Structure 1
Amino acid sequence: MSDASVSPRSFRGGLGKLASWDGIIILLTVVVIVAASLGVPNFGTSRNFTFLILDLMPIVLVALPMTLIIVTGEIDLSVASILGLASSLMGWFWNNGLSIETIIPLVIVIGAVLGAINGFLVNALGLPSLAVTIGTLALYRGLAFVVLGDGAVADFPFDYTGWVTGTIGGGSVPNVLIPIVALAIVFGIVLHATPFGRSLYAIGANDQAAHFAGIRVARTKFWLYVASGAVAALVGILWTLRYSSARADNGSGLELAVVAAVLLGGVSIFGGKGNLPGVLAGVVLLAALQNALRLQDVSGQALNIVTGTLLVLSVLLPNIVSSIRTSRQRRKLRQAATS
């Protein structure tokens, strides 16, 4: 082995990557999983692994398009309401005689249309995404109750409900890991290996500069909202089939967990920064913590407190770290200038 391969500079570079926010979250995720496996009864069992994947499925799938949206400096808080409306529509269509093979693509298309409404309001009319999606959060959830009311539809075909809750080859890996991996690969390639993905970072850093550089900012953001709506509807379908229950209140509060996971994974709420590996680690960390706390019989209110705390810390700590690094760089520049 050459000296260059273990030089102090390369060693410091490796430590720098490890000390990045993404690296910290990944290490923290590993620590939490190991600690929970050793200290929480039944956490490390294959059965609990299956439930853990099923629990993180809605968060990770919705987080994929949400990551791209937040990278551009926008947000979509209506995703959980689209999920609930998709579930209600699924139950209503089933009660009215449509086949499940017709319902699934139809509901996904409707989800894309709901996302397109968000995209139109934000990009064509220039309204703030926070205000728009808070409004459609209430609107879409209200429509879900109009469609299905307070009741539930629970007689979906076992071939579909059994697949969602089943495992690959009868083992401990659930079938839903297939769409999770497939969509994670697609969104990862789009964000990190295409000109379109690079344009998202440019938009998040400075959308006016991106516009003058020839990037179609409004159109790009519009299609992100369409993708977000379609994926949220898909998650509504999977959620409904997992619990074999179409309800208007399905997915309530999910947007909080999704945003917390995305920001925890290192995506800047101000846009222009973040990557999917960090987000995936943030999702696993959040899901592992919630799963471990449930096994300890912690109440739902306490879980909300944990999620909210992580959301605040995920915004606060990266900015503190960034400020410290900026101060150090300025100090070094002043020392270099005076020397």
Structure 2
Amino acid sequence: MSERIKVGISIGDVNGIGLEVIIKTLADSRVFDYCTPIVYGHTKVASFHRRSCEITELNFNVISNAAEAQHQKANMINCWEEDVKIDLGVANETGGKYAFLSLQKATDDLLAGHIDALVTAPINKDNIQSEQFDFPGHTEYLQQRDNAADSLMFLVSDTLRVGVVTGHIPVAKVPQAISVEKILSKLKLMNTSLQKDFWIRKPKIAVLGLNPHAGDNGLIGNEEQSVIIPAVEEARANDILAFGPYAADGFFANATYMQFDAVLAMYHDQGLIPFKTIAFESGVNFTAGLSFVRTSPDHGTAYDIAGKNQASEVSFREALFTAIHVVKHRRENLVLSEDPLKFTKLSRDRD
């Protein structure tokens, strides 16, 4: 339990703000008291970004593999040898190419057990596409690499947690993509994650409707009656405290979400717009349902401010500490399952 947590960090698009928020986070040496960070990128690219955000006190310890990582230092693994032309604020093939090389190497180490968690800086979902990366985003790529049957895009903060049934798909395809089975699968993943990753013993989960006013009893669509309500009822039969469906607009406007431990939205923008409005600075994207821990900040590449020293590192720092906390919670749950008496002593000592 005392082993220092190694957190791998992929740099995202080299032309975006990823390295800026990484550098600003690691420039605070207090971070090293909680984890050993390992950045997957290249020192020359990092130096370019370090100069643009006017940080001189941070020096990367260059290592060839994760086993060489040193505590109390920001470690860097060079994932390529060639020089890279940086075009800050420009979406181009270069940004996608090196974002993938960083992500691929970090994921390889994660799956091999060389690091304990992965924090991903933002990618451009368009320019990263290739024969090796044919996915809508990080979540789908990591689910495939983990051979997981399902996963949950789970946006979390201190005040709000929101998951989505459908992720990066066109809105026009959402009604056909939701089903009783899919909603139930997401509810099971959310419930398990809340218990195992966030230590909420009996989570209460709100489920949103698909249509305006949650369908108004079939007046504005029937997905609530035919799909969502049966899924909620089946979830409750499986000992999951699910409630709803709720009309999304009033649910957030009246702060009803504060009565629940998490919210399951039907599609991307239904969940992410209110989440980012309420918790943008502190929000974290967590992928639930995987065998490993992965988080990311809840913002994108922000090309418009790249290189201007304007990006806030708050969300990235929250993503880093969320990863650390989830790893600790999973370790402690493992101790609990193996030796309840030892866990009781551990909890007492920690308190």
**TM-score bin (small chain):** under 0.3
Q: TM-score, normalised by structure 2?
A: 0.23
- Greater fraction of residues in strand: 2
Structure ID, larger Rg: 1
Q: TM-score, normalised by structure 1?
A: 0.24
**Greater relative CO (CA pairs within 8 A, separation 6+):** 1
